[in-house]
Structure 1
Amino acid sequence: MEKVIVAEANTSTSSSEPRIICRVCQKQFSQYTCPRCNSRYCSLQCYKRHSLRCTESFMRENVMEELKQVQPDDETKRKMVDILKRFHSEEEMNSEDDGDETMLSEEIIQKVLSGEEIKLEDLSPEETKHFRRAIASGELSKLIEPWTPWWRKPSARSISLSPEGCQLVKALDVQSTTDTISEIPVGPESPLQPLKQLMRGEPSPLLAVHVIDILYSYCFTLRLYNGDWHSDPLGASTMALSISKVLGDAGRPETVTEALTACMEETCSPIYRQAGGFSFSIGLVDDVICLLSLGPHALICCLCDFQRLFQAGERMLQSENISKRERNKTTQKLRSAERKVYFLMCWVHEQPAETWSTLAGFVKVEKASLSQLGENVKAERKRMSKPNTLIQEV
């Protein structure tokens, strides 16, 4: 993910490093970083304003039956309708208020594209306002060349792992495979452990639903980071935790609809509005369907990539200038997420192949239902916004 840096012109040698604008007020340079969501802020007042938005197995013989019993309830659908109404309402208000104010001049755009540093002294007061708004709205991120997800590439259909769920051929340079972007994430380096070694009793029948939640958060994170989570593993991992209820809030969604609704609600929240809102969230559901359709080997590679993300985030956290208490708290969250992802890797490895095509079918049904809800809400808002005809022309 690209970061836009704005530097003051007349600074002393001790403060000559580029500084980042506060994500909250968009007026002052930031001095602090939120340890939970990695947002930058400038003061206690901005932190308080920001913190309001920063909220802290199948068994082989009954996989199909358990999935068929996973049905959405009326309350879940009602909540989704409310989310869509609120999103479309805010979207219309923003479009009316902003007009063309977020447009940047051609000169500024060319500077950004060429990687030049933008100085405040080079901008007029109006351009400064436009530039800061563009940073906040995500307009500049639209200039970045779109990334094609690895799960959308033809090579993803031929992923092959060993019977133990690990790489068939171990990479010679392990560091290079984990710290650079490859076309397809490599699988585990060691055989996956049997579930019976990781737990007592039988796995929960809800694990398939939890996989959907985690796949969604993975796709969300990689798309917002344009495929390169390695550039900021701590920021990417905290972003993933904010989307996934299973990893971030220890949630236990019980239906496919519940899992998707919770993820989509967070995607449509003001924090991530610049990503694309409802249409972007529906596209992520398509990504989940694509990954499920690829089968167990692709899912294991996906989860393994997610595990490495949390591990890299934890390593990066050790160099952050934060209190020991906050570091320990965040470390605990990252380790918990990493363990959950590894457990699901082992669980996925032991499931029958037909599980994933069946689950993809359920997600397709829910996607169609959610898309229709979105269209109905949009059409209703459009109808309500039309002025009533007082005099009929003859």
Structure 2
Amino acid sequence: MAAAGVEEQPPCGLCGAAAAPYTCPRCNRRLCSLGCYRGHGGCAEAFYQEQVLQALETERDPPPGRDRLTSAFRRLRQLGEAEDAAGLVDHDLWKGLSPAERAGFQRLLSSGEAATLLPAWRPWWWRQRRLVEELGKPQAGEEEEAEDDEAAASPLPLLPAVITPLSSFRAPPPSPLLPFQLPNVLFGYAFALSLHSGDETLLPELPAAILDVSAALRGRRAFASTAEALHAARYDVSVAGYPQCPLGDAGTVLAVVQILEGKEGRTDGEDVAVALLHLERLFRKGERHLPKEERRQFGNARRKCRYLLAWSREAPETLAALAEESRVVHARVAQEAAALREEVERGCGGPWRELISNRVNERLGERQLIQELN
């Protein structure tokens, strides 16, 4: 889905909105948002079907059955948008698939399981080791050793050579409550990036989601503790109506811990500086996709990120304390998630992933039966 300028655009082809900065990669219909893109018809599904078929055609020694489809899906990430895919697919290739392969392919698309076959998006702060040992086994949001090279983290954004010092800002001395703004901001940052798989072309949706989740960036919200700041962000996710991001609640809090701690070999506070500079850039880019009268909130958030950046460069000991407090919150949230999962499994009689998979297959079977009867 490619972004375009906001001036002199045709209206959205689905809802009729005046500003339609996106284009469907298959039918070229102009669309105003991610919601309209997903809801405008079967184009996206058909586009991915064509790309998978093309990938299958170029496999030198394709493995049989599901592994063959998995291998093709994993090549989609290398193909990019429709503009990068050369040529059309010979539809005779579809006929060459076995009935079982065709049914399996359609089932993966219909259930949404196809997305799980692609390599997981890994943020730049991701680490290839487990970070929490208190619970004895990996819980939601924890990370284990990577199984393959496809799970490599995205590249680390660069820091500028000079960062504006805190003394340069025309502002009163920092409040004692200022440090607690940072975990709330970082939660919104990690949540929105995970929700959109790091796709920075989703503007202004991506920075808007950060604002929806971070009250510290949205307005003058003060927090009395790290726990209050993190739980407020969790609450705002539900109030805003967002689905749970791929990291989950515990995983998003863990991301805050990771950014605050920083990776080994980096200077103290470097990862925090990278996150805040990245945030500032996202808000700056998002402003360009908004009417002038709606840019003020993004501009205010951008300035808050710059102030927090200047403060954080002078407070490495405070960042370490925030990391420890965030780790305590993560342990509690992970325990709550594990207890809830165990309760659901006891009530339903099986592992939750298996139960969900069985239910999806049941619904797909019901749909296929209705189609055959009609």
Residue 333 of structure 1: aligned partner: 297
Q: How does 1:158-197 map to 2 (within 5 A)?
A: 183-188=155-160, 190-195=162-167, 197=169
Q: Is the partner of 1:150 in helix, strand or coil?
A: coil
Select 1:285's aligned residue among 253, 256, 259. 253
Select 1:355's aligned residue among 309, 318, 325. 318
CA distance in 2, matches of 1:32, 1:347: 41
Residue 17 of structure 2: aligned partner: 32
Per-residue deviation, 1:284: 1.3
CA distance in 2, matches of 1:140, 1:274: 18
Per-residue deviation, 1:31: 2.4
Residue 275 of structure 2: aligned partner: 302
Q: How does 1:229-268 map to 2 (within 5 A)?
A: 229=200, 231-267=201-237
Identity %: 25
RMSD (Å), alpha carbons: 4.4
Structure 2: which amino acid aligns with 1:355? Answer: T
Deviation readout 1:279-318 (Å, 9 max, x if unpaired):
6121111111111111312211221111111111112325
Structure 2: which amino acid aligns with 1:292? Answer: L
Answer yes or no: is 1:212 the counterpart of 2:180. Answer: no
Kept after mapping to 1: 8 A contact 2:227/2:325: no
Kept after mapping to 2: 8 A contact 1:134/1:140: yes
Kept after mapping to 1: 8 A contact 2:191/2:245: no
Kept after mapping to 1: 8 A contact 2:121/2:197: yes
Kept after mapping to 2: 8 A contact 1:38/1:238: no
Distance 1:38 1:244, change over 3 A: farther
Question: If the length of structure 1 is used for normalisation, what is the TM-score?
Answer: 0.53
Kept after mapping to 2: 8 A contact 1:310/1:337: yes
CA distance in 1, matches of 2:120, 2:11: 26
Select 2:306's aligned residue among 331, 342, 352. 342
Deviation readout 1:245-288 (Å, 9 max, x if unpaired):
11124422322222222222344568432634xx6121111111
Residue 371 of structure 1: aligned partner: 334
Per-residue deviation, 1:38: 5.1
Q: Is the partner of 1:253 in helix, strand or coil?
A: coil
CA distance in 1, matches of 2:302, 2:159: 15
Kept after mapping to 2: 8 A contact 1:243/1:266: yes
Q: Is the partner of 2:297 in helix, strand or coil?
A: helix
Distance 1:236 1:337, change over 3 A: same
Distance 1:245 1:359, change over 3 A: same
Answer yes or no: is 1:152 the counterpart of 2:152. Answer: no
CA distance in 1, matches of 2:155, 2:323: 23
Per-residue deviation, 1:360: 1.0
CA distance in 2, matches of 1:39, 1:225: 10
Residue 110 of structure 1: aligned partner: 52
Distance 1:274 1:292, change over 3 A: closer
CA distance in 1, matches of 2:238, 2:109: 19
Q: Is the partner of 2:295 in helix, strand or coil?
A: helix
Deviation readout 1:338-373 (Å, 9 max, x if unpaired):
01111101111121x322222211111111112222
Q: How does 1:311-322 map to 2 (within 5 A)?
A: 311-318=284-291
Q: How does 1:11-50 map to 2 (within 5 A)?
A: 29-32=14-17, 40=35
CA distance in 1, matches of 2:252, 2:236: 12
Q: How does 1:372-387 map to 2 (within 5 A)?
A: 372-383=335-346
CA distance in 2, matches of 1:139, 1:19: 29
CA distance in 2, matches of 1:303, 1:334: 14
Aligned residue pairs, count: 254
Distance 1:256 1:291, change over 3 A: same
CA distance in 1, matches of 2:343, 2:127: 38
CA distance in 1, matches of 2:213, 2:109: 24
Kept after mapping to 2: 8 A contact 1:268/1:281: no
CA distance in 2, matches of 1:368, 1:274: 18
Kept after mapping to 2: 8 A contact 1:216/1:263: yes
